[in-house]
Amino acid sequence: MDSFKSYIEAAEHVLVIQAENPDGDSVASSLALESLILDNFPKKKVTMFCNLPVPAHLRYLEGHDRVVQDIPHDFDLAIIVDCAEEVLLDKSFKQHNAQRLNKVPVLILDHHNDNINFKFDTVNFIDESAVSTGSVVFNLAKDNNLEVSEDTATFIMASILSDTMGLTLDFVRADDFRVIAELTDLGANLSKIDQARRELNKRPQFITKYKAELLGRVEYLLDGRLAYVHIPWEEIEKYSGIYNPPILVFEDMRLTEGVQVVMAVKTYKNGKMTAKMRTNPGYEVVGDVAAKFNCGGHPGSAGCKVEPGMYTYEEFKSELVKYTRECLDSLEKSKKENKQI
């Protein structure tokens, strides 16, 4: 396999592609690649592409506004970052200029166990032991003797913080802290990154007032095991564009003693209803609750939706509460049985 560097050297216009669910790692690793390439090869051109605009909560990453939604016609190298599943590129590949991917080298940089089955050949730089795609970029830079500037180091650090929830997730190893130390030596500043993120996530005063209203309306059901809140259409209409209401209160709901599951039900104008659910550790049942409505998600974080006319609000609520009770009870029962064995 040719080196990462040789592909960059051979190209004039590099296209960096993100999946259609941009997250902190995909945006930050794209920016890291852009600055790494331009610092080391000032004559190259880099275009960052994502089918969706960068979500508001990620705009603390300086340079996010250079990510475009159209694939250019003249790139001669493509690098796909942080994309676990090809389906996450479905819409992107429908763009006319995506046909060029059949003609130019395509590199994949990732830390997921990819199930890659693209219609074109790819050269894969995948490191499953890396905590973020940004750290894959860092390792490639070091292996290829490329200079890592303060800006590049900052984006790499941001990618790591994003995929490890600020280095607090259980898979973080001592080596990851060593990488953070190296990046700090290169000029990245963990506190500055965090401040920028917090500054951007500040909300208007009326949203904080609404949060208080929502928290006041939380119902504690099933002997306090389920914290439940309802968001009617008028509030979706008024607040959702600025801040997604459940996100405003979910953390506080989860940080309440005795609460195992938190749930927010939204009722729409046309009768559609959705439920968003999260659990506290040890009570990962909401994937099962969603499955009762033929919807999916992760055990600890899931959602479901019912079409207009299927249920009244009261019916939907009582079904959700019933299924949550059943799932929590059977979890409780299997925990007891396991103890006896």
Q: Where on the chain is the footprint of Mn ion (CB under 5 A)? A: 25, 82, 163
Please check whether residue 261 is in contact with residue 292, taking contact to mean a CB–CB distance below 8 angstroms.
Answer: no
Sheet containing 77-81: order of strands? 67-68, 45-49, 13-18, 77-81, 106-110, 123-126
> Please, which residue, 80 or 275, has the CB nearer to Mn ion?
80
> Please, which residue, 34 or 163, has the CB nearer to Mn ion?
163
Sheet containing 261-267: order of strands? 219-221, 226-231, 261-267, 273-279, 301-306, 297-298
> Please, which residue, 153 or 214, has the CB nearer to Mn ion?
153
- Please state the closest distance from residue 81 (CB atom) to Mn ion, in A: 8
Please check whether residue 67 is in contact with residue 61, taking contact to mean a CB–CB distance below 8 angstroms.
Answer: no
> Please, which residue, 30 or 35, has the CB nearer to Mn ion?
30
Instruction: Give kind and range of the element (H or E) at residue 180.
Output: helix 174-185
- Please state the closest distance from residue 32 (CB atom) to Mn ion, in A: 12
AA letter at 191: S
Quote the CA–CA distance of 165 and 159 in Å, as a whole number: 10
- Please state the closest distance from residue 30 (CB atom) to Mn ion, in A: 11
> Please, which residue, 40 or 159, has the CB nearer to Mn ion?
159
Exposed/middle/buried for 147, CB within 10 Å: 0-12, 13-18, 19+?
exposed
As a residue count, the chain comes to: 341
Could you give phi then psi for residue 110, rounded to 5 degrees?
-160, 165
- Please state the closest distance from residue 31 (CB atom) to Mn ion, in A: 14
The token duo for 277 is 């659910």
Beta bridge partners of 18: 81
- Please state the closest distance from residue 309 (CB atom) to Mn ion, in A: 40
- Please state the closest distance from residue 130 (CB atom) to Mn ion, in A: 9
- Please state the closest distance from residue 22 (CB atom) to Mn ion, in A: 11
Residue nearest Mn ion (C-beta atom): 25
> Please, which residue, 163 or 176, has the CB nearer to Mn ion?
163
Strands (E), 112-164: 123-126
> Please, which residue, 25 or 288, has the CB nearer to Mn ion?
25
Quote the CA–CA distance of 265 and 233 in Å, as a whole number: 11
